[in-house]
Structure 1
Amino acid sequence: MIQLERLWLERELQQVLIRYAQLCDERDWGLLDQVFSTDASAQYGLRTLPDPAAILDMLRNHLGGCGPTQHLLANLVVDVDTPEDDSAEGDALLVSSRTAVRASHRGAGEKAAQTYECMGYYHDRWTHTPAGWRIAHRKMVVGFEFGSRSVLAPPTGLAAP
């Protein structure tokens, strides 16, 4: 992979990560298919999510009834493994990344004065689809957190699983 191709790949992945932050902070659930592949899975802490529907349910249950949030993603490190002939494109590339995340949450309603923050890393494995690069598997590793997780809540009328 030549340097220009690598820079373009990193830019494409960064745009998907930006969409993820937008999905979370604007509660724009329709962006899910611009972030995750159709067969994506994830692990957020001890919670294993086998498919995009489970990922969406988790996001809705944590953020849907929460107050304002801000997901800051930085320090993207991309690893690319290519076959020996070095001519691979798309699906033939084995692409993974690590991104630092700082997610700030404020409560809503009675919990509006409470906050919850976590900092850690997203470890993503990527796949190339006809629509572009998408996350095939995400593992979130939280380094530390402070505040009250009780601000994470489903939308009113929706019970948490």
Structure 2
Amino acid sequence: MLSLQEISDRLEIQDLMVRYSHAVDTRQWDLLDEVFTPDAHIDYSAMGGSTGDLAATKEFLATMLPNFLAFQHLISNSSISVDGDTATGRTLCHNPMLVADAQGKQSLMLCGLWYLDTFVRIDGQWRIQRREEEKGYMFVAPSA
């Protein structure tokens, strides 16, 4: 049976994951400062992205995401294990991304991945200290 504290911790971590998705999908990069620790290590390389600290990740996202007309991060199936002020998690992400070629022909890229996270509680707030992506699939649906 879960304690009230563990239930609270899990809900707070799930909310943190939603805030990450919201920050990225609305292109509000500075909101990521409230999601990650200042010394976070973020590895998006499994899906062809960057690896580095928070500043490098924000720069990567700000440079790369304008190439897409639309995108969403849909997260679910979080498996979270809490141990005091640290936690680990594995969360499914479905990330559809709309892209256009030089002639304006649109294609839909479907990305499926897992976020492998290490969380830490700092001053009563959960933050992501380490994030690594695990690739599930990447598929570009041809346009008509």
TM-score of the superposed pair, with normalisation by structure 1 = 0.77
Which structure 1 residue ranges, 4+ long, deviate > 2 Å from structure 2? 45-50, 108-112
Q: Is the 8 A contact 2:45 2:51 kept in 1?
A: no
> Unaligned 5+ residue runs, structure 1?
82-87, 149-161
State the alpha-carbon separation in 1 of the partners of residues 123 and 101 from structure 2: 42
Distance 1:7 1:108 in 2: 43
Aligned Cα root-mean-square deviation (Å): 2.2
What is the DSSP-based 3-state SS (H/G/I as helix, E as strand, rest coil) of the residue aligned with 1:56?
A: helix
Structure with bigger RCO (C-alpha 8 Å, 6+ apart)? 1
CA distance in 2 between counterparts of 1:29 and 1:36 reads 11
Is structure 2 residue 141 aligned with structure 1 residue 135?
Answer: no
- 1:31-79 deviation line (CA, Å, top 9, x unaligned): 1112111110111125562311011122122213311111000011111
Q: Which has the higher strand share?
A: 2
Structure 2 unpaired stretches of 5+: none
Asked whether the equivalents of residues 95 and 125 of structure 1 are also in contact (C-alpha less than 8 Å), the reply is yes
Cα distance in 1, alignment partners of residues 17 and 127 from structure 2: 9
Residue among 58, 81, 104 paired with 2:96: 104
User: How many corresponding residue pairs?
Assistant: 138
The sequence identity of aligned pairs, in percent, is 29
Q: Work out the CA distance in 2 between the residues paired with 1:24 and 1:112.
A: 25
TM-score (norm 2): 0.85
- What's the secondary structure of 1:27's corresponding residue? coil
Q: How does 1:1-161 map to 2 (within 5 A)?
A: 3-46=3-46, 49-81=51-83, 88=84, 93-108=85-100, 110=102, 111=104, 113-130=106-123, 132-147=125-140
